[in-house]
C-alpha cells in the first residue's frame, strides 16, 4: 500500500481495489494509492484517475467534503489529547529560602521564587496570580537529541515532545504581559517543528526572530556530516506591536567613527548620499570645491534636496574627501546616533559559548560536570537587556543550573525559576546563595558591579487535593488541613485566597462583593440562614462544604457546592508527573497479524 499522510481524525474504513487493504481513521480527504485517488464523502467512495502531473482527473470538487474550519497546522500523534491540569497551591519551605542579612542597594529584590516540582503543574499553579504580569520567559528545554545529561530524560519521540511543549507554551502565553516576550533556545533537531508549533500558539504574526547563537568555539572533526556551530533562539512576542529595546553601543561599534578633519562635533561616519527610491528633488548636479561635477548614478537619486545639501556643507557636515575632489558624503556623528538595534547573529565573542558557560560552572562547582550545555551568563544578559527593564518579572520553567535566575538577580529583575531535578537543591540553591552573598564574581558580576543582596523564597508543589480511599473513592487528601484546603478550593474555583481575620466565612474573593467559604462541615439550614443574613443582600457567597441540609436555591445570595463531588470531573487528580519523560511515549502501532482498532486484524 502506498498511502501517505493519513491523519488521525474521523473514523472511516475503506477497502482499496484488489489489494483488499484497509485504512482505519481516514478523514474526509484524498489518499494517493498507486496512481489512483480515492475520495471519501458521505455517499461512499469514488475513484478517479491521476494525470502524469499528479493531479486528480474526473473527480468533481463538489464531491470532496472539506472540514468546516480548516487551517494550516502541525499535526502529530495525540495532539488532540490535552491534560486537565489541577491548579495546585505552592507551599513554602522557609528552611530552604534564603535572603541577604541586610539591604545592599535600593534595587534589592527579596520576593523571588524557586519552585521545586513538575514545571507544567508549576506553571498552572502560577497562572492565576501571574497571568498577564510576566515581562520575559526564557526557557532552555531538552532538545530531544537522545544525548542528554544525567538530569534529564531527553530522548523523546517527536509527538510526545510536541504535546508537552504545546501544553507549556499555552500557559506561558497566558502568563506574558501585553509587552512580554518568549525566548526559547533549541537546536536543529526540534527548532523547525517548534517554530510551527509556536506559530500556532502565539500566532504567526507574533514571531519576532530566529536568533543564531554561535555556541561552538571550534569545529568538531569527529562529526559525521557537519560540525554544528550554532543553536537557535526563537523569539515570540505576546502582541504584534512589541518593540525590542536597543543595545548599548560597544567600543567596536564606535571604532568605525573617525575624525580626519578635526571636526569640533567629534568623530563621524561618511553616509551614502544616494537613495534608490525616486525623489522629486533628488535629480541635480553639484560642483565640488575643486570644480568637479557630481550627479547620481543611473537609477539613483540624491538623498536630500540641493538646498539642504548646501546648508549642511555650510555647517561643515559634508565631506568632499581629503583633497576636496571626492563625491560629497553626509556626516553621521557619533554623538547623534542611538543605541544598536539587535541583530540576529550573536557571536561567541559577544555573548559567550558553551565553553564559556562550562568555565562559569567550574568556578561555581569545581570538579562537577553535571551539565554539558549550560548557557553563558552573557547570553541571558543580552536577552534581558533587550526584553526587560529594572524590576520586571522573568520566568524560567526549565531552570537547569539556575543561570537565568542568577543573571536576572544581578540585573535587578524579579525572577521565578522552576526545576524538578534534584539539582534544584544541589546546584541552584547553592548558586543563588553565592549570588546573594556576593561571592559569585563570575559571569556578568564585574560587568554589572555586583555586590550581592536580595533573596528568594523556596516553594514546592502541594500534593493533589484528592486521593483514593481504600474503597477506591476520591476523597480530600489527608495531607490537607483546613487552611490548605481553603486555599486549594479558592484556586480551583478562581478566587483569590485572602482569609478575613474577622469573618469566618470569608476565605477569599473574586470581586469586591463576591466571596467564598470552604468548610468540611455538614451545614444545616439554620447555619446557612445565619451565614446568608451576615453576607447580606449586597454581597454574594460561594459555600463549598461536605454536605448541607435544605434547598440549595432557597437563599439567593448563597451558591452551595458539595466538596469533593462538585469538582471530581475538573482535573486529573493525583497526577504528579507531566515531565518530559520517555515513559510518556505513545505505544508502538500493532504489527501485521496483531489486533488493530475495533478488534480487526491488520492484513498484510
Render pLDDT for 327-379 as a digit per residue (tens, 0 to 9).
999 999 999 999 999 999 999 999 999 999 999 999 998 887 767 778 999 99
Last residue of a domain, one of 336, 363, 388: 336
Backbone angles phi, psi at 438, to 5 degrees: 85, 5
By CB neighbour count within 10 A (0-12 exposed, 13-18 middle, 19+ buried), where does 252 fall?
Answer: exposed
Indicate the pLDDT class of residue 222, thresholds 50, 70 and 90. Answer: confident
**C-alpha pair distances (Å), 95 with each of 3, 102, 118, 194, 417:** 60, 18, 21, 39, 18
What pLDDT score does 10 carry?
A: 39
Q: Would 600 be classed as within a structural domain?
A: no
- Within this chain, do residues 389 and 317 fall inside the same structural domain, yes or no? no
In a domain, 585, yes or no: no
Say yes or no: 363 and 498 in one domain.
no
pLDDT confidence of residue 300: 92
CA distance 165 to 156: 12
Number of Cβ atoms within 10 Å of the Cβ of 373? 19
Q: For the domain that residue 209 is a member of, what is the CATH number?
A: 3.40.50.150
Do 530 and 543 sit in the same domain of this protein? yes
CB 435 within 8 A of CB 417: no
- Say how far apart CA 390 and CA 371 lie, in whole Å: 29
- Check pLDDT > 60 for residue 408: yes
Helices (DSSP H) in 411-480: which residue ranges?
A: 423, 429-437
Same-domain pairing of 238 and 355: yes
Contact by Cβ (8 Å): 257, 321 = no
Q: Quote the pLDDT of residue 304.
A: 92
Structural domain includes residue 223: yes
Asked whether residue 49 is assigned to any structural domain, the reply reads yes
> Residue 589 domain-assigned?
no
Does one domain contain both 292 and 406? no
pLDDT of residue 240: 97
Contact 3, 23 (CB under 8 A): yes
For residue 581, name the pLDDT band (cuts at 50, 70, 90): low
What secondary structure letter does DSSP report for 588? Answer: P
* Confidence band, pLDDT 50/70/90 cuts, at residue 164: confident
Q: Same structural domain for residues 471 and 447?
A: no
Asked if residue 474 and residue 409 are part of one domain, the reply reads no
Please give the residue range of the domain that contains residue 150.
Answer: 90-247+342-461
Q: Do both 7 and 132 map to the same domain?
A: no
Do 437 and 516 share a domain, yes or no? no
pTM over 0.85: no
- For residue 435, tell me if it sits in a domain: yes
Residues 116 and 12 in one domain: no
**Does residue 254 surpass a pLDDT of 70?**
yes
Residue 182 to residue 235: CA distance in whole angstroms: 6
User: Is 13's pLDDT higher than 80?
Assistant: no
Looking at residue 540, which CATH number applies to its domain? 3.40.1350
Query: What pLDDT score was predicted for residue 107?
Result: 83
Q: Please give the Cα distance from 103 to 101 (Å, whole number).
A: 7
Tell me if 305 is assigned to some domain.
yes
Name 41's bridge partners: 44
- Same domain for 228 and 140, yes or no, is yes
pLDDT at 589 over 60: no
Quote the pLDDT of residue 323: 93
Query: If we measure between CA atoms, which residue out of 86, 62, 16, 81 comes closest to residue 477?
Result: 86
Q: What is the pLDDT of residues 519-572, one digit of tens each?
A: 999 999 999 999 999 999 999 999 999 999 988 788 999 999 999 999 999 999
Whether residue 506 is predicted with pLDDT greater than 80 in this model: the reply is yes
Among 297, 315, 336, give the residue marking a domain's end: 336
Give the end-to-end CA distance of the chain in Å, rounded to a whole number: 10
Which of these three, 336, 370, 391, is where a domain ends?
336
Clarify whether residues 243 and 348 are in a common domain.
yes
Mean pLDDT of the chain: 85
580 pLDDT band, cuts 50/70/90, is: low
Q: Is residue 575 part of a domain?
A: no
> Three-state DSSP class for 119?
helix
The tally of domains found in the chain comes to 4
Tell me, what's the pLDDT at 35?
37
Amino acid at each position: 500500500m502506498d498511502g501517505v499522510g493519513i491523519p488521525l481524525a474521523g473514523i472511516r474504513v475503506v477497502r482499496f481495489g484488489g489489494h483488499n487493504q484497509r485504512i482505519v481513521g481516514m478523514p474526509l480527504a484524498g489518499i494517493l494509492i498507486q496512481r489512483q485517488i480515492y475520495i471519501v464523502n458521505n455517499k461512499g467512495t469514488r475513484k478517479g484517475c491521476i494525470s502524469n502531473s499528479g493531479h486528480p482527473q474526473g473527480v468533481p470538487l463538489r464531491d470532496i467534503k472539506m472540514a468546516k474550519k480548516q487551517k494550516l497546522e502541525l499535526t502529530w500523534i495525540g495532539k488532540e489529547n490535552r491534560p486537565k491540569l489541577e491548579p495546585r497551591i505552592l507551599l513554602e519551605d522557609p528552611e530552604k529560602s534564603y535572603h541577604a542579612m541586610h539591604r545592599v542597594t535600593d534595587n534589592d529584590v527579596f520576593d523571588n521564587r524557586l519552585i521545586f516540582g513538575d514545571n507544567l503543574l508549576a506553571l498552572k499553579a502560577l497562572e492565576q496570580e501571574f497571568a498577564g504580569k510576566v515581562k520575559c520567559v526564557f526557557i532552555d528545554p531538552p532538545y530531544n537529541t537522545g544525548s542528554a545529561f544525567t538530569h534529564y530524560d531527553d530522548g523523546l519521540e517527536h509527538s510526545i515532545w510536541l504535546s508537552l511543549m504545546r501544553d507549556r507554551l499555552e500557559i506561558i502565553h497566558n502568563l506574558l504581559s501585553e509587552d512580554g516576550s518568549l525566548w526559547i533556545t533549541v537546536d536543529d533537531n526540534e527548532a523547525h517543528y517548534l517554530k510551527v508549533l509556536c506559530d500556532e500558539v502565539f500566532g504567526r504574526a507574533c514571531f519576532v526572530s530566529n536568533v543564531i547563537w554561535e555556541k561552538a568555539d571550534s569545529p568538531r572533526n569527529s562529526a559525521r556530516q557537519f560540525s554544528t556551530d550554532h543553536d537557535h533562539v526563537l523569539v515570540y512576542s505576546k502582541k504584534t506591536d512589541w518593540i525590542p529595546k536597543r543595545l548599548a553601543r560597544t567600543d567596536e561599534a564606535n571604532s568605525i567613527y573617525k575624525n580626519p578633519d578635526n571636526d569640533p562635533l567629534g568623530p563621524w561616519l561618511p553616509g551614502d548620499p544616494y537613495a534608490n527610491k525616486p525623489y522629486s528633488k533628488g535629480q541635480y548636479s553639484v560642483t565640488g570645491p575643486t570644480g568637479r561635477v557630481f550627479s547620481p548614478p543611473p537609477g539613483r537619486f540624491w538623498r536630500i534636496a540641493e538646498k539642504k545639501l548646501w546648508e549642511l556643507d555650510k555647517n561643515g557636515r559634508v565631506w568632499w574627501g581629503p583633497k576636496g575632489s571626492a563625491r560629497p558624503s553626509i556626516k553621521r556623528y557619533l554623538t547623534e546616533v542611538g543605541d544598536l538595534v539587535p541583530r540576529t547573529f550573536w557571536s561567541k565573542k559577544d555573548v559567550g559559548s558553551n565553553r564559556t558557560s562550562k568555565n562559569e560552572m567550574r568556578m561555581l562547582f569545581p570538579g562537577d560536570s553535571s551539565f554539558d550545555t549550560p548557557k553563558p551568563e552573557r547570553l541571558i544578559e543580552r536577552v534581558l537587556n533587550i526584553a526587560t527593564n529594572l524590576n520586571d518579572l522573568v520566568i524560567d520553567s526549565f531552570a537547569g543550573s539556575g543561570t537565568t535566575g542568577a543573571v536576572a538577580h544581578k540585573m535587578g529583575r524579579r525572577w521565578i525559576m522552576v526545576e524538578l531535578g534534584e539539582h534544584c537543591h544541589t546546584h541552584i540553591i547553592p548558586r543563588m546563595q553565592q549570588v546573594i552573598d556576593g561571592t559569585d564574581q563570575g559571569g556578568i558580576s564585574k560587568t554589572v558591579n555586583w555586590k550581592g543582596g536580595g533573596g528568594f523564597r523556596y516553594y514546592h508543589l502541594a500534593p493533589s487535593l484528592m486521593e483514593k480511599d481504600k474503597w477506591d473513592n476520591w476523597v480530600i487528601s489527608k495531607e490537607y488541613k483546613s487552611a490548605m484546603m481553603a486555599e486549594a478550593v479558592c484556586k480551583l474555583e478562581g478566587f483569590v485566597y485572602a482569609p478575613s481575620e474577622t469573618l469566618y466565612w470569608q476565605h477569599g474573593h473574586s470581586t469586591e462583593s463576591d466571596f467564598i467559604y470552604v468548610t468540611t462541615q455538614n451545614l444545616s439550614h439554620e447555619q446557612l440562614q445565619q451565614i446568608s443574613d451576615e453576607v447580606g443582600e449586597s454581597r454574594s457567597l460561594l459555600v463549598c462544604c461536605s454536605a448541607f441540609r435544605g434547598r440549595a436555591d432557597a437563599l439567593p445570595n448563597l451558591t452551595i457546592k458539595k466538596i469533593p463531588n462538585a469538582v471530581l470531573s475538573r482535573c486529573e487528580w493525583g497526577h504528579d508527573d507531566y515531565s518530559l519523560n520517555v515513559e510518556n511515549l505513545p505505544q508502538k502501532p500493532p504489527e501485521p497479524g496483531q489486533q488493530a482498532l475495533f478488534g480487526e486484524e491488520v492484513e498484510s
